[in-house]
Amino acid sequence: MKKNPPLIQIPGFQFSGAVAGIKQTKKPDLALIVADRPVKAVATFTTNLLKAAPVLQGQSVIGKGKLRAIVVNSGNANAATGPKGLKNALTTAAAAAKQLGCSKSEVLVSSTGKIGVQLDVAKIIRALPAATKALAPGNFSAAAHAIMTTDAFPKMHAVRGKIGGKTFTLAGFAKGAGMIEPHMATMLAYIFTDLDLPIAAMKKAFGKVVEATFNSISVDGDTSTNDTAVLLASGASGISVKPGTASWRAFEGALQEVCSKLAWMMVQDGEGATVVVEVHVKGAKNADSAKHIAYCIARSPLVKTSFFGKDPNWGRVFAAAGYSGETFDTSRVDIFYDSVALVLNGLPTPVSQEAKAHKVMKNQSFRVLIDLKGGKGESKVWTSDLGYPYVKINAEYRT
């Protein structure tokens, strides 16, 4: 299986990135994704009660299970903008539909950026002709760059494989660096494949993978207003895949890999992040309990600042598990930083172990394992550290 081809192309799709002038930097801020024909599509959105206008628009069109295009602007979230904001999202979809010659119900809109600022939709309308003219199968990277806000780098990954002697492609790009927390985060993710997938099974598979990837990361504990993840299948490869078959497992494996890579890169790019930490809780009474404990640890400012300082302060980890509200026997708990045991059966190991753990924490990534030894529940959450750069970026985000 060949991964990350130099030029990412997915049969059945074209991409472009353009400058609409929404960002003050005049960098690309409008991405256009267009399928050669209406394609099967499923999506998940933020669980935040405050849903941005494009989320409401996206939820209204995705139910039909078919999309022709996606329009994404960066630099303005179009959130907390009331009826006018929703009208602007609908106007964007209608303008794109007119430009592409399709139905507005086949266009999904996404936005990311500042909350509470009305979107100047006229800028998007003016930029759409240029974005349409620039559409090309090879402009995947251009679209990925256009959706960035505080991201330090574009997040892209692709997998190519074979089913029945034919080649298929599954690829995706995403943005996200701050306001990252479960139940979708301040992230936009667009996944594409040229496989032909049954819509019901496609939706189920995507939901499962989203839960294990995009819903298993945390940078700062803030769930955003605009989170959107979409999976589109063009069928252009001519490969029809049925659930329960080896070909379906190949699809699921590719989907898991692409989403995992994108989710990992979001944590890696956590604003000011210097390390990615896998918080692995096992031995809980059930999987939900394990995930709850893992998130209490992953979002703790005290734990995260200790990661930044390379300080093996296991007491903060233990305390976060203890205040999670989940029940477990504290006298049985083991805590490891990679292979270094810092707590065994609820008690600290010799202080000399902390020097070994300090060395582990100097790596670009490491694992914190919390074994409760009280059941079969298990969960993993990826998180980043929290340091001075995060405060500076977010303190000055609007100014």
pLDDT score recorded for residue 393: 64
Q: What is the mean pLDDT of residues 178-187?
A: 49
Q: Confidence band (pLDDT; 50, 70, 90) for 64?
A: very high
pLDDT above 50 for 5: no
Q: Which two tokens stand for residue 179?
A: 């306001």
Q: Specify the length of the chain in residues.
A: 399
Flag the least confident range among 74-83, 211-220, 345-354, 387-396.
Answer: 387-396
Torsion of CA 265, 270, 275, 276, to 10 degrees: -50
Return the H-helix or E-strand segment holding 131: helix 121-133
Q: How many Å apart are CA 364 and CA 93, to the nearest integer?
A: 41
pLDDT above 50 for 358: yes
Distance linking the first and last C-alpha atoms of the chain: 46
Q: How many Å apart are CA 220 and CA 271, to the nearest integer?
A: 9
Q: Does domain 276-395 have CATH number 3.40.50.2300?
A: no
Flag the least confident range among 41-50, 227-236, 270-279, 348-357.
Answer: 270-279
Cα angle value 355/358/364 (rounded, 5°): 155
pLDDT above 60 for 178: no
Kindly tell me the burial class for residue 197, based on how many C-beta atoms sit within 10 Å of its own C-beta (0-12, 13-18, 19 or more).
buried
With CA atoms as reference, report the closest residue to 190 among 115, 94, 255, 136: 255
> What 8-state DSSP symbol labels residue 388?
H
> What 8-state DSSP symbol labels residue 186?
S
DSSP 310-358: T---HHHHHHHHHTTS----GGG-EEEETTEEEEETTEEPPTHHHHHHH
Q: What is the mean pLDDT of residues 46-66?
A: 94
Q: Give the residue with greater pLDDT, 208 vs 272.
A: 208
Q: How many Å apart are CA 160 and CA 169, to the nearest integer?
A: 5
Q: Which two tokens stand for residue 69?
A: 């295009």
Where do the structural domains in the chain lie, given as residue ranges? 2-264, 276-395
Q: What is the mean pLDDT of residues 189-213?
A: 96
pLDDT above 70 for 341: yes
pLDDT score recorded for residue 188: 94
pLDDT above 90 for 103: yes
pLDDT score recorded for residue 187: 83
Q: Per residue in 270-325, pLDDT tens?
A: 766 789 999 999 999 999 999 999 999 998 999 999 999 999 999 999 999 999 99
Q: In one letter, which amino acid is 119?
A: L
Q: How many Å apart are CA 333 and CA 341, to the nearest integer?
A: 11
pLDDT score recorded for residue 399: 54
The reply to whether domains 2-264 and 276-395 share a CATH topology is no
Q: What is the mean pLDDT of residues 8-35?
A: 96
Q: How many Å apart are CA 360 and CA 257, to the nearest integer?
A: 26
Torsion of CA 322, 325, 330, 333, to 10 degrees: -80
Q: Confidence band (pLDDT; 50, 70, 90) for 126?
A: very high
> Is 169:238 a contact under the CB 8 Å cutoff?
no
> Is 10:194 a contact under the CB 8 Å cutoff?
yes
> Is 22:182 a contact under the CB 8 Å cutoff?
no
Burial 325-343 (b: 16+ CB within 10 A, else e): ebebeeeebbbbbbebbbb
pLDDT above 70 for 238: yes
pLDDT score recorded for residue 1: 47
Q: How many Å apart are CA 393 and CA 383, to the nearest integer?
A: 18
pTM of the model: 0.83
Separation of CA 290 from chain center: 21
pLDDT score recorded for residue 219: 63
- Which residues, 6+ apart, have CB-to-CB distance to 50 below 8 Å? 79, 80, 225
How would you classify the pairing of strands 217-218 and 377-384? parallel
Return the H-helix or E-strand segment holding 362: none
Q: Does domain 2-264 have CATH number 3.60.70.12?
A: yes
Q: Give the residue with greater pLDDT, 187 vs 350.
A: 350
Rounded to the nearest integer, the mean pLDDT of the chain is 92
Could you give the residue numbers annotated as active site?
186
